[in-house]
Chains A and B, each alone.
Chain A
Amino acid sequence: MARVLINLPQRAKRGEIIEIKTLIAHPMETGYRLDNTGTAIPRDIINRFVCTYNGEEVFRAELFPAIAANPFIAFFTTATESGELAFSWTDDHGQTQTEIRKINVE
């Protein structure tokens, strides 16, 4: 499991627009680099990131090798109701890591 940082308010007012910042530890190997013997290092990146709010998708990103290592993504969403936000990162091998954060909406 890669290390993940997620920053979002624990509580918010209904209808408030909140910023969510996410970061996951990942080398984002581009596939364009060569090692010392001149062999290409195989591509290994996170190509998909999805955020769902109580099961409904609110943000999705498709990532390419031009995204820097340890991909950082910040975006906004509207605090509609209390519940769970799920964050999923999927890599080139099809492996997905999901993290869940709770939010209290008053």
Chain B
Amino acid sequence: MDRESQGGSPTRRRIILLAAAGLGFGPFAVPGAATRISMDEAIRGLIGEAPVERGKVKLEVPPIVENGNTVSLTISVDNPMTEADHVASIHVFNQKNPQPYVAAFHLGPRAGRASVSTRIRLADSQEVVAIARLSDGSFWSDGADVIVTLAACTEQ
């Protein structure tokens, strides 16, 4: 890995890329961009034809973030965690990153509380969606719009 992309600030990198593009090197194609699937297709791949209801899930993400390279995210599901009735998994999707998948978390009755936190990247201002699958097979979701001032570097 070269030093510039490792240590240089995103702004500096962007300037270098723009300069390179101006010199006739660009445009910079993202590998696999043509085969990229949308968030809706990715969600369909998870849930199939099952209905998704709004509710139970709470997606906490700041409405405006300065740096898309680290965005704190907390997903909690208001549901008991018993053997008979629990949250089986939580899936996170985004709209405009090169890939619609962000993460999948698999829980069980031993979790006690269905709440997960992580930090994600956002390449643009966009919607983030969390979908929870309960042990009875039903799906619940929540979404949030995030405005990103400085996008995560995908260099496209």
Which A residues are closer than 8 A to B by beta carbons? 17-18, 21, 29-36, 38, 40-41, 53, 56-69, 71-78, 80
Contacts and interface: CB of A to CB of B under 8 A. Distances in A.
A38 B70 CA distance: 25
A66 B101 contact: yes
Contacts of B103: 61-64, 66-67
A68 B72 CA distance: 9
A31 B99 CA distance: 11
Contacts of A64: 99, 101-103
Secondary structure class of chain A's binding surface, majority of residues? strand
B153 A77 contact: no
Nearest to B92: A66
Contacts of A68: 69-71, 118-121
A21 B25 CA distance: 44
A45 B31 CA distance: 17
Nearest to B28: A34
Nearest to A50: B106
A73 B113 contact: no
A65 B155 CA distance: 14
B99 A65 contact: yes
B43 to A, nearest CB: 14
Contacts of B135: none
Nearest to B156: A32
Contact of A61 (B1, B4, B70, B104): B104
Contacts of B112: 17-18, 76-78
B117 interface: yes
Contact of B115 (A35, A75, A80): A75
